[in-house]
Amino acid sequence: MQELIKRIRPDQADVLRNLRLAGLEESPDAFGRRYAEVLSRPPEYWDEHVQHYATSKDSATFVLYRAGKPVGMTGAYLDGGRRDHAYICNMWVEPGFRRGGAGGRLVDTATRWLADQGAERINAWVGETNTTALRFYTTLGFVMTDQVRPMPHQPDMREVLIAFDTALL
């Protein structure tokens, strides 16, 4: 099955919305937002955000396609333009397309894009109890830091900061 990873285009607001909602519905405790909150956002929100993610030099969304169908995504951004504050976020792949390396290829695409923007360290916040995600990122070269914070949507749960040194690319 043909696989392709591309930066989202300005005309793909529906792709961004559908993938984001699918991820929140399938893995509600893995993200900093809730499905109902994101579902209620108006079309203008999606139009504005997809335009930004498609053209910005500080943030991007990458979409995984299998046989032409969008089946996964990840976001990448520089926080405040700082090279040590680059992040991967909203990483999600449809369950039927996991375990074949597609997620790793998505993260690799995002980390390389961030490195091309000058990032020296790439971070991601992961739920402290999400052992599958922590194991996944560890296999890609991310290491756990000692930074922990409450999850935005569930303050009784915590997330840990993991980091990747772009010198490893």
Fold (topology level) of 3-168: Aminopeptidase (3.40.630)
CA distance 52 to 66: 24
Q: What is the pLDDT along the chain (169 residues), one digit of tens a residue?
A: 699 999 999 999 999 999 999 999 998 877 877 888 898 999 999 999 999 999 999 999 999 999 999 999 999 999 887 777 899 999 999 998 888 899 999 999 999 999 999 999 999 999 999 999 999 999 999 999 999 999 887 888 899 999 999 988 8
Residues with Cβ within 8 Å of 40's Cβ and at least 6 positions away in sequence, in order, are none
SS (H, E, C) the chain: CCEEEEECCCCCHHHHHHHHHHHHHHCCCCCCCCHHHHHCCCHHHHHHHHHHHHHCCCEEEEEEEECCEEEEEEEEEEHHHCCCCEEEEEEEECHHHCCCCHHHHHHHHHHHHHHHCCCCEEEEEEECCCHHHHHHHHHCCCEEEEEEEEECCEEEEEEEEEEEEHHHC
Q: How far apart are CA 47 and CA 16, in angstroms?
A: 9
Phi, psi of 96 (to 5 degrees): -70, -10
Does the CA dihedral 105-106-111-117 come out positive or negative? positive
**What's the pLDDT at 82?**
72
pLDDT given for residue 154 in this prediction = 80
The domain spans of the chain are: 3-168
Please tell me the predicted confidence (pLDDT) of residue 156: 86
pLDDT (0 to 100) of residue 1: 67
Q: What was the pLDDT predicted at 77? A: 96
Number of neighbours of residue 127 by Cβ within 10 angstroms = 20
Task: Tell me which amino acid residue 162 is.
Answer: I
Among 56, 66, 52, residue whose Cα is nearest residue 12: 52
